[in-house]
Amino acid sequence: MSSIDPKSLLPASIAARVSALTVKEGRAIAVIDAAGLGDSERAEIERAVTDILSARDEISQVHVAMTAERVQRRLIAVGSGKGGVGKSTLTANLAIALAGRGRKVGLVDADIYGPSQPVILGNQGSKPVARDEKLVPVESAFGIPVLSMGHLVEPGRALAWRGPMAGNALSQLVDAHWGDVDTLLVDLPPGTGDVQLTMLQRFKPIGAVLVSTPQDLALIDAARAGQLFDQAGVPVIGLVENMAGYACPHCGELSDPFGKGGVETAAARLDLPFLGRIPLDLAIREGSDRGKPPAADEGALGSPFHEIAAKVDAWIGENS
């Protein structure tokens, strides 16, 4: 092959990433710049290079080395003090909206005992595979890779795990093959228990988003969650008020079954940013149950999530 540049055998898109390609005594060694590529893209390029070069009579062995700078991955926790306030719905839609703004986003469903992200993101029943003793995240139709206990256990099966087991499960979900993901959202279980403590000790987030409904009881618990992050030195990016306002589908009259403005008032009292409010809307719940998060569309339902994502995205840019 002395008269032929081996790079010329490769498609232009792959050749542009070849840092070095040598052929000596029947052995080809290709060094590929894999910066910005996900696991599937790396595997596809490696397979293409191997197949093309192996087809040459004078090449008996092909070795492909992928090089790239290590991805600086940031974790953002999404928490609440109380269950049932829409934290998982916010996390999924926030992930989709941040990805739409150019972030490479992954999602960890750390609610070990009540995982719901496989349903919201529409990949329930999919199973992650393991490579090199680490899990490979499950892809979703929205370009958000996700790992959840809901992918690892049978639907509806109860988990009776003590704290250390739950903590180890979280570690397996976070310390996985996330590829080029640079922003990992962690959907925490409600409260301030073992999973939260494990995350703060092993995988300290750069910031946290707190979710609450407007009523006083939920706000009290949200304040406790905020105190936990404060004690751990994790800044609170801001507060989100969920289930804020309900429009009657028949007459259009607005009502506030859970109160109004409580989270915004609490944010001002605690000197924390208020990120926005999400209405109590049946279509949001139906979309989540069907695996069609509203942030994936350009309609009015997705607008509050995109507005919140814009503020979180700006905070990331200022604090990275």
Q: What is the pLDDT of residues 29-78, one digit of tens each?
A: 888 888 767 778 888 999 999 999 999 888 889 989 887 655 678 999 99
| 84 labeled part of a ligand binding site | yes
Hey, what CATH topology would domain 74-319 get?
A: Rossmann fold (3.40.50)
On the question of pLDDT at 154 being above 70, the answer is: no
pLDDT of residue 167: 64
Q: What is the pLDDT of residues 10-28, one digit of tens each?
A: 988 898 888 888 888 888 8
Say which range, 72-86, 156-170, 295-309, has the weakest mean pLDDT.
156-170
| 7 labeled part of a ligand binding site | no
| 191 labeled part of a ligand binding site | no
Range among 92-96, 165-169, 225-229 with highest mean pLDDT value: 92-96
First to last CA, the chain: 48
| 311 labeled part of a ligand binding site | no
pLDDT level of residue 156 (50, 70, 90 thresholds)? low
pLDDT level of residue 155 (50, 70, 90 thresholds)? low
Domain ranges of the chain: 6-67, 74-319
Backbone angles phi, psi at 129, to 5 degrees: -100, 165
| 87 labeled part of a ligand binding site | yes
pLDDT of residue 9: 86
Please state which CATH number belongs to domain 6-67. 3.30.300.130
Rounded to whole angstroms, the Cα distance separating 88 from 20 reads 46
| 255 labeled part of a ligand binding site | no
pLDDT level of residue 182 (50, 70, 90 thresholds)? very high
| 287 labeled part of a ligand binding site | no
| 226 labeled part of a ligand binding site | no
